[in-house]
Amino acid sequence: METTTTIRKGLAINFKQGAWLIIEAQFVNPGKGAAFTRCKLKNLKTNQVVENTFKSGEAVELVDLLMQKCQFLYKDHEGYNFMNNDSYEQFQLTEDMLGDDGKWLLENTEVYAMYIDGTPVSIQVPPKMDFRVIESPPGLKGDTATGGTKDIKLENGVMIKAPLFIKEGDMVKVNTEDGSYVSKAN
């Protein structure tokens, strides 16, 4: 089994008898201590997200993960259907397998699918995506108690907080990792 001592976002590792994708990796050093890397890991089978802090330089086993560009086709009662852009092969992932990521998918959205031993197990949505605003109540002027934000609804049904100047019909860029507003999109 291949190992690495550089723990980075995007790597898939074997940890606690499972295959996990590192979805966040941050430098930490406890006062007076050695450097550590704090990771958020997503289980590639169950989608469970856990945090673990590894000692910097600690060897971890890598999972052989293949990333391939795919297109989201449609959702039916069994799950989400995709097509591999290279092989045109179609496959389905259940709602459980996609977890929270499913909500960002619009028809024809391009994503990366992750394959372990030839089987697609999960997808990676782009970190930033553009959405049309379908509901945006007029903001209250001078309402600084809310930090100058209001709740808006995106075309995929997701509610996010955005600045007061955002109007219905605008395109906005959204961070799909935490659902936060990034900027107005063109």
Partner 1 sequence: MTYTNKNASTLARHSSRIKSQIREFFDSQGFLEVDTPIMVKIPGMEPHLSIFETKLEIPSTYENQTPQALYLNHSPELQMKKLLARTSEDATFGKIYNMAKVFRNGEFDSKTHNPEFTMLEWYRYDSDYNEMMTDCENLIAHLTKNTTNTASKAQLSPHFTQNTPQPENKNNSSHNLTPSTHELVYQDQKIDLSHPFTRKTVNELFIEHTNIDLNENKTYKQLKEKAENLKLPINSCETWDDIFFTIFLNEIEPKLKAYTKPIFIYDYPSSQAALARKSHKDPFWAERFELYIAGIEIANAYSELIDEKEQRDRLIEEQNQRKNLKKSVFDIDEEFLNSLKSIRKPCSGIALGVDRLIMLLTDTKSIEDLLLFPITHILKK
- Residues that bind partner 1 in the complex, under the rule CB under 8 A: 16, 25-36, 38, 51-53, 55, 57-59, 144-145, 147, 149, 160-163, 178-183
Q: Toward partner 1, which CB reaches closer, 94 or 180?
A: 180
CB of 183 vs partner 1, minimal distance in Å: 7
**Residues in the chain, overall count:** 186
CB of 121 vs partner 1, minimal distance in Å: 23
Q: Which residue has the tokens 């903001």?
A: 139
Q: Toward partner 1, which CB reaches closer, 57 or 168?
A: 57
CB of 58 vs partner 1, minimal distance in Å: 4
Q: Toward partner 1, which CB reaches closer, 73 or 164?
A: 164
End-to-end CA distance of the chain: 46
CB of 77 vs partner 1, minimal distance in Å: 29
Q: Toward partner 1, which CB reaches closer, 79 or 148?
A: 148
Between CA 82 and CA 84 the distance in angstroms is: 7
Q: Toward partner 1, which CB reaches closer, 93 or 152?
A: 152
CB of 31 vs partner 1, minimal distance in Å: 5
Contact at 8 Å (CB) between 154 and 172? yes
Contact at 8 Å (CB) between 40 and 49? yes
Residues 148, 149, 153, CA angle at the centre, nearest 5°?
160
Query: Which amino acid, residue 38?
Result: R
How many other C-beta atoms lie within 10 A of the C-beta of residue 54?
18
